């Protein structure tokens, strides 16, 4: 599964990664729901067979069901959509409003929210994405105890606590086995999958599947590599070429959209992508250093082509 990532898994990125043909599910960036009348952009569905998980962020257990019903009446959500609740965001601002990982501090309140969502969404899948605890993984047994009663079809667990944020040393993949044994629905493992070996380590915990975030942005072909379990059929040059072709298709898609937006620029979305993309050892940090100074998506497309045809060299 492709992880929900604000600023990264927009509809163009979801479509391009789906087109690599090796990912089963792609997730939207979170949609913060507050009231029935709020403005929400239409959600673009990927072409079949890729499935879409629409992630919602909410903080009012009593109101959320009603908002979902309104969103359905307005045609933004459909009866058979797959809705996911964000219970993992560690942002202090978000948590101060009672949303994201803050919901972990009161599991009964979280359960009330999930029950309300289930009631207003009986015919589509419902899931949640969370962490192994708020303060630490010591919260996990108590959390799982409550979550056993959650009316959901699947759970994704990022193997860090809220306090662990994105600290590489805070990842506790082994804790996922405990969740797999305890919960009556499938557990998807998430956290620091950048290589085929990372994926194998995660799968060894017994999880039903894996979700990749930053790893899939730094290498959009990661899902294919995990499935094939072998990279030797492609030379480094072919892989680098494929990566740059992907990046240029993303720049082109954003540029096309810009033309319909009348003056609004989407270059920031490309720069955010290129920050993670340049972490790929075949691309290198100098790629981002170049891109971040550029002023238009056309300039970026020219740069990508010149790197690809060897006119511009970037050291790795």
Ligand X SMILES: Cc1cc2nc3c(=O)[nH]c(=O)nc-3n(C[C@H](O)[C@H](O)[C@H](O)COP(=O)(O)O)c2cc1C
Residues forming the site for ligand X (CB under 6 A): 3-8, 29-30, 55, 86, 88-89, 129, 158, 190-193, 212-215
Residue whose C-alpha is closest to residue 156's, from 136, 181, 185: 185
**CB closer to ligand X, 77 vs 307:** 77
Q: How far is the CB of 8 from ligand X (least distance, A)?
A: 6
Contact 28, 43 (CB under 8 A): yes
**CB closer to ligand X, 89 vs 243:** 89
Q: How far is the CB of 160 from ligand X (least distance, A)?
A: 8
Contact 79, 43 (CB under 8 A): no
CA distance 93 to 60: 16
**CB closer to ligand X, 157 vs 307:** 157
Q: How far is the CB of 171 from ligand X (least distance, A)?
A: 8
**CB closer to ligand X, 125 vs 302:** 125
**CB closer to ligand X, 114 vs 212:** 212
Q: How far is the CB of 57 from ligand X (least distance, A)?
A: 7
**CB closer to ligand X, 29 vs 258:** 29
Contact 31, 55 (CB under 8 A): yes
Q: How far is the CB of 184 from ligand X (least distance, A)?
A: 22
Enclosing H/E stretch for 288: helix 285-291
Give one DSSP letter per residue of 194-243, joined into a string: -SHHHHHHHHTTT-SEEEBSHHHHH-TTHHHHHHHT--TTS-HHHHHHHH
Sign for the pseudo-dihedral over CA of 167, 168, 169, 175 = positive
**CB closer to ligand X, 28 vs 120:** 28
**CB closer to ligand X, 65 vs 189:** 189
**Per-residue DSSP letter, 139:** G
Place of tokens 């990508």: 304
Contact 236, 260 (CB under 8 A): no
CA distance 215 to 156: 16
Terminal-to-terminal C-alpha distance of the chain:
29
Q: How far is the CB of 266 from ligand X (least distance, A)?
A: 16
Backbone angles phi, psi at 25, to 5 degrees: -135, 135
Q: Is the omega angle on the peptide bond into residue 49 within 30 degrees of 0, that is, cis?
A: yes
Q: How far is the CB of 192 from ligand X (least distance, A)?
A: 4
**CB closer to ligand X, 4 vs 133:** 4
CA distance 154 to 127: 5
Q: How far is the CB of 86 from ligand X (least distance, A)?
A: 5
Q: How far is the CB of 191 from ligand X (least distance, A)?
A: 5
**Residue whose C-beta lies closest to ligand X:** 213
């Amino acid at each position: 599964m492709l992880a929900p990532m604000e600023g990264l898994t927009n509809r163009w990125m979801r479509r391009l990664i789906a087109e690599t043909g090796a990912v089963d599910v792609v997730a939207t960036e979170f949609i913060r729901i507050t009231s029935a009348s709020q403005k929400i952009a239409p959600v673009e569905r990927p072409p079949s067979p890729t499935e879409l998980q629409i992630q919602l962020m909410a903080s009012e257990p009593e109101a959320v069901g009603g908002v979902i019903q309104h969103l359905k009446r307005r045609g933004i959500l459909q009866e058979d959509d797959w809705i996911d609740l964000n219970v993992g965001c560690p942002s202090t601002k978000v948590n101060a409003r009672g949303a994201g990982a803050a919901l972990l501090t009161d599991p009964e309140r979280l359960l009330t929210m999930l029950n309300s969502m289930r009631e207003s969404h009986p015919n589509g899948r419902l899931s949640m994405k969370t962490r192994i605890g708020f303060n630490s993984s010591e919260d996990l047994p108590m959390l799982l105890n409550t979550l056993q009663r959650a009316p959901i079809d699947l759970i994704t667990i990022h193997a860090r606590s809220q306090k662990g944020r994105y600290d590489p040393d805070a990842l506790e993949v082994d804790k996922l086995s405990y969740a797999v044994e305890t919960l009556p629905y499938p557990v998807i493992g998430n956290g620091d999958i950048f290589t085929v070996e990372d994926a194998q380590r995660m799968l060894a915990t017994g999880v039903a599947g894996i979700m990749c975030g930053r790893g899939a942005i730094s290498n959009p072909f990661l899902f294919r590599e995990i499935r094939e379990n072998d990279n030797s059929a492609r030379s480094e040059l072919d892989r680098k070429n494929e990566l740059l072709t992907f990046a240029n298709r993303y720049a082109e898609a954003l540029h096309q959209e810009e033309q319909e937006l009348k003056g609004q620029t989407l270059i920031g979305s490309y720069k955010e992508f290129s920050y993670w993309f340049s972490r790929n050892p075949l691309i290198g940090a100098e790629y981002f250093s170049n891109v971040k100074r550029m002023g238009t998506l056309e300039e970026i497309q020219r740069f990508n082509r010149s790197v690809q045809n060897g006119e511009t060299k970037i050291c790795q």
